[in-house]
A = this chain, B = another copy of it.
Amino acid sequence: MDAFSHVPPGFRFHPTDEELVDYYLRKKVALKKIDLDVIKDIDLYKIEPWDLQEQCKIGNEEQNEWYFFSHKDKKYPTGTRTNRATTAGFWKATGRDKPIYVKNCLVGMRKTLVFYRGRAPNGQKSDWIMHEYRLETNEYGAPQVSLCTSACMLPRIQTSDT
């Protein structure tokens, strides 16, 4: 079934930060139905960034950014540090988190991460970046799910790992 058959021609998924946090992530965390199954669940720690485009396709749209939900994985069962390592490398936070406001209310935060090949604290910086959005409300307890967007910053999108 093509879930996108009821989106009229010419419409493309170009959501704002506010829509991602306040509609898609909020509904996901509240286990509410999302109109269109446009954002997949992905285990971020089992997938390399260059494989996301295959998993996160939206209809037949040409994309340079990929959207997915990811459940937070703890580095240690009792700790609060988040494990963001894959087989080939790891995601490392960069810069400051950006607050997301809707009508002057803080609804979420956006963290920027860069993918490094190899193992921390070494590793080679790649062109893959990710934004990780989290809710800033404890309406449903501490949310263990975040919404991520990933993109390759090369002038042309990589189509394979090679």
Contacts and interface: CB of A to CB of B under 8 A. Distances in A.
A105 interface: no
A1 to B, nearest CB: 16
Contacts of A121: none
Nearest to A36: B8
Contact of A35 (B9, B23, B36): B9
B15 A14 contact: no
A99 to B, nearest CB: 20
A12 interface: yes
Contact of A11 (B11, B20, B34): B11
A14 B8 CA distance: 11
A159 interface: no
A155 interface: no
A143 to B, nearest CB: 19
A8 B5 CA distance: 12
18 contacts: A7-B7, A7-B8, A8-B36, A9-B19, A9-B23, A9-B35, A10-B13, A10-B14, A10-B15, A10-B16, A10-B38, A11-B11, A11-B12, A11-B13, A11-B14, A11-B15, A12-B12, A14-B14
